[in-house]
Every structure is written in structure tokens, then in C-alpha cells.
């Protein structure tokens, strides 16, 4: 019995040793797969350089904020960007997609190419922040005099990427490849053009000569300063606008039987459009929204008009749902109009596709992002229903778009959303923006160098 017990104990000890060794091997393998590629000494240098230029980047941000320019009118901004990139010894293109600027920082090796993108345009909003560097700019937009304001953080995006350019130019001799800097106009839309912004930049070859292996972009968001938020798939929605015109026959409101009332049809259409999502979209595959933002028709209490116009938006997180909603919307509206003896004209303007991150690229970058901001300051986020034309780059090459927290830690009041006349960012987030984007560029160069 003792002999058996000793053999059994030896077997248990051997099994325990095997399990421990197996777990150690698995741990080492997982660590090697998740470990950052870039040398720690290079990241330390980036962090030091970021600290050195922080004040300069803040001054750039305040200058851009005080002198905002609308889409495709970013002449002053583009000029400052181009001059800065040239001062760093880059190859610079201007006038890309109207007012865009592209700089190429070549490293000593003929290796991979990583692209970094920032948007430069402002919005037709009159600023109410009370900042000492608040915008007082006005301009004519769609026939009206309007204020102009950086109410979406593009001033921080542009200045931060200029900072990244400074940092990476300072270590160019240590880069295992090249970095392409894309300063893009008209992310907010250019209503006097058929094609604008990222789509036009892609059409004009921004992703060629040389072609990047991957691209990174970011956007400010009201997470706590120092936070980076990400998603491994869809992070922003597609956006399409629709115009629906219901044509009937009007008359006196006291005798509706003598008319084909387009207002009744419009009301049926507005309520019925909601079933396109609630009864047709498979929401486990991604969210979808159909909203009507405007109804126009009639001008008197007692007159039924001939026409009613509906304006609205469609947002989805995948192309399958997007296509389905377009088709069902047209069928539903036409059939509803016909049922009431009216006619419908429908126009759907396809704008930006959904921003869908490359999951492999995101997973590869998470370790270096944690290195930049700390493990506890990296969080996975739900996809948003707003849109971004960064999607046009992500449709072409592996891409990662992420959110930069710009909400002060001591914030105790209400949060002003983007596109508010009172929107502002915490400038303490600028160092995070520069350091993290620089880390990502270098990490990706080493990643693609080894592939």
C-alpha cells in the first residue's frame, strides 16, 4: 500500500510539474504575441520629446481655434501646416482635395509606410465659450453671414499631428520605415461640391506613392483626460441623407374629401419609417437609426397643400443593413403614397460609410497604447451613431480610429457636446494625443517590418 501511495504521489507531482510548465509556456507565448514591438528606449525618447514641445503644440491649437476656417477654405491652416512640415525636412504636397496637405517623412530604411490623419475644418457656429482665444471670425455660408468655430476638436487634431510630426522627425534616423502625414480638409462636409474630404483625397491618390500599410486617426470625446477608447470593429456609423416629396392635390381644409392630402401621407410615412429598424434590421449585427429631421408643407390653417417634403438621415454599422434600409424605405414610401392616391419622389444621398477598424491591427496596438496612458486608462467603447469620413481610408487599408479623452478630471458640471457653441477641450489631453499617436506610428512600423 505504501509503495502504491508513493507512486501515486510521484505521479501527482509529475502531473503538477507538467501543468506548471505548460502554463508557463502559454504565458510566455501570449506575452510575446501581445508585447510591444518598438524598443522601450525609443518610446522613452518619444515621451521626452513630447514633453518638450507640449507648450508649442498648445500655442498652435489656440491659434487655430482663434482663426477657424470652414470646409475647403482652410487656406491659412493649410499654409501653417505645410510650412511646418517643410521645416522638418519632409516632402510636402499642397492643394490635395482642394486645401489638403500631405507630408512624407522618410526614414533611413526602405521599410513599411504608416499614415496618420488629422482633419482641419471648422463649423458654421458662433462661439460662446468666453475663452481668451475664442473665435470672432464670421463668413458667408449658404448665403448667410455666420460665425465660424472649432466646435469639434479639429484644432486639437491638427495641432497634435503637427506635434507628432515634430517628434518623429526628431527620431527619423531610428525609424524602420516612413510616415505619411495627412492633413485633410472638409471632414464636416462641403455642400458646394459633389465629392470632398477623405473621399476626394483617396481619389486623388493620397494612399499611393507610397501606399501605407496602415492608417491611424483619432477624435476628441468627453471621456476623462488621459483616456484612450477603442473598438475592434465598427466604431462609427455610416450616414446617408434622404429627401422625400409627397405630391397630392390640395384644397380647402373644410373639405378634405376633395383632396389627396399629402400631410396625412407624410404622417404615416414618419411613423412607419421607424419599423424599418424595429421590424427589419437585425440589430444583433449592428445598430441602425432612421430619423426625420424636417417636415415642410403648407402655410395656412385652412389650406391642404399640394406637397409635403421630409428630410431625414439613415445611420447603420454595416453595409448589409444599410442596403436593406435603402431598399425597404423606397418600397414603403412609394406604396404608402400610392395607397392614399398620392405620389412620392425619393432621393437618398449616400455620404460616409461606417468606420470599421481592423481588429488585428487594434489588438496589436493595445499594448503600446497601454504603455502610453496606463492600463487603467484604456477602455473599450460601444460604437457611436455619428459618422466620420475616415471610413474612406479604412475601406482601402488596415485602419484604427480611436477616441481621445478631453474632459477635465475635476469636471463637475454638464458636458457640452461637440458642435455646441460652448464646446471646449482640456488642453492637458494634448500631450496624450501627441505621445499616443507617435507611439502608434513607431509600433506599427516595427510590426509591419517583421511581417
CB of 403 within 8 A of CB of 377?
no
Q: How many residues does the chain have?
A: 451
Question: What is the C-alpha separation between 138 and 253, in angstroms, rounded?
Answer: 44
Contacts of 61 (CB under 8 A, 6+ apart): 155, 156, 159, 160, 427, 430
121 assigned to active site: yes
Find the catalytic residue in 69, 74, 119, 121.
121
251 sits in which H/E element: strand 251-252
109 catalytic? Reply is no
Maximum C-alpha span of the chain? 107
| 341 contacts: CB under 8 Å, gap ≥ 6 | 248, 260
Residue-wise DSSP of 264-277: HHHHHHHHHHTHHH
Residue 175, C-beta contacts closer than 8 angstroms, at least 6 positions apart? 105, 107, 108, 109, 111, 168, 442, 445
Q: Choosing from 187, 213, 261, 371, which is the catalytic residue?
A: 187
Q: What is the dihedral of CA 269, 273, 279, 284, to 10 degrees?
A: 180
Inter-residue contact 47 to 435 (CB < 8 Å): yes
- Residues annotated catalytic, as ranges: 121, 187
Amino acid at each position: 500500500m505504501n509503495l502504491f501511495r508513493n507512486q501515486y504521489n510521484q505521479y501527482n507531482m509529475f502531473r503538477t510539474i507538467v501543468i506548471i510548465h505548460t502554463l508557463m509556456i502559454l504565458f510566455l507565448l501570449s506575452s510575446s504575441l501581445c508585447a510591444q514591438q518598438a524598443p522601450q528606449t525609443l518610446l522613452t525618447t518619444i515621451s521626452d520629446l513630447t514633453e518638450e514641445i507640449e507648450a508649442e503644440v498648445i500655442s498652435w491649437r489656440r491659434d487655430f481655434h482663434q482663426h477657424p476656417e470652414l470646409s475647403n477654405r482652410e487656406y491659412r491652416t493649410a499654409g501653417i501646416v505645410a510650412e511646418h512640415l517643410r521645416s522638418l525636412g519632409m516632402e510636402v504636397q499642397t492643394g490635395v482635395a482642394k486645401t489638403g496637405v500631405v507630408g512624407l517623412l522618410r526614414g533611413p530604411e526602405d521599410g513599411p509606410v504608416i499614415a496618420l490623419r488629422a482633419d482641419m475644418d471648422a463649423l458654421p457656429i458662433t462661439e460662446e465659450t468666453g475663452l481668451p482665444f475664442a473665435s470672432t471670425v464670421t463668413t458667408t455660408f449658404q448665403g448667410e453671414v455666420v460665425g465660424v468655430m472649432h466646435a469639434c476638436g479639429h484644432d486639437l487634431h491638427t495641432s497634435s499631428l503637427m506635434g507628432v510630426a515634430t517628434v518623429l522627425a526628431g527620431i527619423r534616423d531610428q525609424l524602420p520605415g516612413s510616415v505619411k502625414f495627412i492633413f485633410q480638409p472638409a471632414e464636416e462636409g462641403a455642400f458646394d461640391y459633389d465629392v470632398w474630404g477623405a473621399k476626394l483625397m483617396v481619389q486623388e491618390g493620397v494612399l499611393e506613392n507610397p501606399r501605407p500599410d496602415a492608417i491611424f486617426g483619432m477624435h476628441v470625446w468627453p471621456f476623462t483626460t488621459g483616456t484612450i477608447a477603442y473598438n475592434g470593429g465598427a466604431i462609427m456609423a455610416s450616414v446617408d441623407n434622404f429627401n422625400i416629396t409627397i405630391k397630392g392635390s390640395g384644397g380647402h381644409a373644410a373639405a378634405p374629401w376633395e383632396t389627396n392630402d399629402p400631410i396625412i401621407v407624410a404622417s404615416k410615412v414618419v411613423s412607419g419609417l421607424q419599423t424599418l429598424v424595429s421590424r427589419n434590421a437585425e440589430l444583433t449585427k449592428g445598430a441602425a437609426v432612421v430619423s426625420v429631421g424636417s417636415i415642410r408643407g403648407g402655410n395656412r390653417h385652412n389650406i391642404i397643400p399640394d406637397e409635403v417634403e421630409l428630410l431625414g438621415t439613415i445611420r447603420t454599422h454595416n453595409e448589409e443593413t444599410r442596403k436593406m434600409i435603402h431598399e425597404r424605405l423606397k418600397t414603403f414610401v412609394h406604396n404608402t403614397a400610392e395607397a392614399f392616391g398620392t405620389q412620392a419622389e425619393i432621393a437618398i444621398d449616400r455620404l460616409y460609410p461606417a468606420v470599421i477598424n481592423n481588429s488585428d491591427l487594434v489588438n496589436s496596438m493595445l499594448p503600446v497604447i497601454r504603455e502610453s496612458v496606463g492600463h487603467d486608462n484604456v477602455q473599450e467603447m460601444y460604437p457611436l451613431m455619428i459618422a466620420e469620413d475616415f471610413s474612406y481610408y479604412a475601406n482601402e487599408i488596415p485602419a484604427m480610429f480611436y477616441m481621445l479623452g478631453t474632459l477635465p478630471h475635476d469636471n463637475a458640471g454638464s458636458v457640452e457636446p461637440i458642435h455646441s457653441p460652448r464646446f471646449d477641450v482640456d488642453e492637458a489631453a494634448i500631450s496624450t494625443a501627441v505621445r499616443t499617436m507617435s507611439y502608434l506610428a513607431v509600433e506599427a512600423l516595427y510590426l509591419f517590418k517583421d511581417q
